[in-house]
Structure 1
């Protein structure tokens, strides 16, 4: 008999991440092999995070790439599908492009933020609907498209089917529906991106952030990652283990569209190595502190990509503590204390 699962409710994604990995690897219902990927599968998995800002796991054996996570969310918000931007932060994404220039299924931004035939973005239609009818059940962002399966050997089919906003008692909740999710790798990025967009929508609507719920038909761990998952779970189960505790930054309610335009302009210049930023130059942008931190992360990554010296200690010192922890553990050999070895 397959295990009986009760949907998890936790305050942070860190705790949920570990629970999902444990359940998928110890209570798998099926062993599957799709498109050459052997995996352990658990079907119809659901969880809820009561504080969607607490969207990152902090594990030394799995230090997430916070720069990529933010870049992906901004790539979506910009309505882009090109490899030029996202490929800079994740070169491996090119493996999923049919033409070596753009992505299709993975490029959720073109479905959410690109104008349709009438010049209106799906995102704006949904937010306008919530403003007009706060109790609506129709505020659904459609992502998966049937024509994706019409392309033979399509290397990039949307994993996410849809995302639905519910505005209840002044709080904006988001529910995400996925056909499949890689619990070890993909789920981290997916939860980050959708809770980021949820917070962005709450800011645009001027309402409080509610809870985030994640539904997955096929939650799986690929066999090639099983050893890493066991090591990760062993880390968290060690006697005396204490999860690093950081207060998540809060997105300001300033004009999000205007701020995003400014941030994306700076991101493009940093990505092309046409500008260099310092804490002082970032402060001079007059952006809210939340978005200054984003530019500091992009500058740290620019230094990692384009130089052979350690990331500026001055820059690291002014990073948000949680971001600093992730950067230091993700790129250990590029931190100031390792400069002599680089």
Structure 2
């Protein structure tokens, strides 16, 4: 069996997938009116899952949403309050206007069982602590009941996550029934690799490789032009181009209490009950890694609640450099000149 192609960064894998699907698609898929070019059965591997971020002029990303979605998952949440705030489009996924069921992957992984038993994530980690070479640490997402409601957009694209501890490293394999290579894949890989890194920290293991398998890999026809610009930009940079910024490393001391603290203060910022300076956040007993995540939410709070003003330069300069670069390109009219990344 041939292993999937390996990339040192997600940006390289992303460009390669877009290049392949746009140039060599096998089908034109018209499911639910969303025309797309499709490849059946696509895979790639990241040798360093921390290199999950995109730094592309042709594809500005939202670093605030990346962390918001990852924390929504890790928090085991279903409600729209958090995720709908950072991406209003997610409200269309809700059946009742208050929760999301199918694509709330975190609720299926991190929430306790209905009988009060441990979550799938906790059970997977406990298995790996007891049997270090286990092949059974698989966390299923897609269920038979997800096939019951034909036509509803809120079905899990994620089939499951598989953790494998080998030689002191934690590897993860992701299985997806479908992935929009230009849109959803960017956020999915970010969240899933962050979950992998958190699991490695909790297990005291080094971060291993990340493998992404997809049944239907596709690019929407409406996105073909932008996908072409991404391919052009990455081709011009060269296949061996180094990332613009070093990847932030989740500290080995990260605990569930840190995650809970971040979620508590994210809600306070989201609901505009507080406003924080870097000094304020430094006093919250969080590692610098998580302080910078909270400062992203503070920057977003200012975007939403102070629409006539530029975002506080002191807050922006305190961000992780790669996230600051992304923020400034996503909202160029809301930033002033400041520190050079």
Shorter-chain TM-score bucket reads over 0.9
Q: Distance in 1 between matches of 2:55 and 2:215?
A: 26
Q: Are residues 25 and 316 of structure 1, via their aligned partners in 2, closer, same or farther at CA, if it must alter by over 3 Å? A: same
**1:124 equivalenced with 2:122 (yes/no):** yes
**1:321 equivalenced with 2:318 (yes/no):** no
Equivalenced residues, count: 334
Q: Distance in 1 between matches of 2:238 and 2:126?
A: 49
2:208 paired residue number: 210
> What SS is found at the alignment partner of 2:30?
strand
- Considering Cα pairs closer than 8 Å and 6+ residues apart, tell me whether 1 or 2 has the greater RCO: 2
- 1:1-342 counterparts in 2 under 5 A? 7-119=4-116, 120-238=118-236, 244-308=243-307, 309-337=309-337
| Structure 1 residues 118-143: Cα deviation after superposition (integer angstroms, max 9, x where no partner) | 31111111100000001111000000
| Structure 1 residues 70-129: Cα deviation after superposition (integer angstroms, max 9, x where no partner) | 110100111101111100000011111111111111100110011113311111111000
- Report the Cα offset of residue 332 of structure 1: 0.6
- Report the Cα offset of residue 319 of structure 1: 1.3
Q: Distance in 1 between matches of 2:151 and 2:79?
A: 20
- Report the Cα offset of residue 155 of structure 1: 2.0
Gap runs ≥5 in structure 1:
none
Gap runs ≥5 in structure 2:
none
> What SS is found at the alignment partner of 1:336?
coil
Q: Are residues 240 and 39 of structure 1, via their aligned partners in 2, closer, same or farther at CA, if it must alter by over 3 Å? A: closer
**Contact kept? 2:32, 2:151, Cα under 8 Å:** no
> What SS is found at the alignment partner of 1:161?
strand
Q: Distance in 2 between matches of 1:238 and 1:52?
A: 24
Q: Are residues 51 and 255 of structure 1, via their aligned partners in 2, closer, same or farther at CA, if it must alter by over 3 Å? A: closer
> What SS is found at the alignment partner of 1:216?
strand
**Contact kept? 1:148, 1:154, Cα under 8 Å:** no
Q: Distance in 2 between matches of 1:72 and 1:317?
A: 23
**Contact kept? 1:58, 1:243, Cα under 8 Å:** no
Please tell me the root mean square deviation across aligned C-alpha atoms, in Å.
1.6
Q: Distance in 2 between matches of 1:33 and 1:6?
A: 30
> TM-score, with normalisation over the residues of structure 2?
0.95
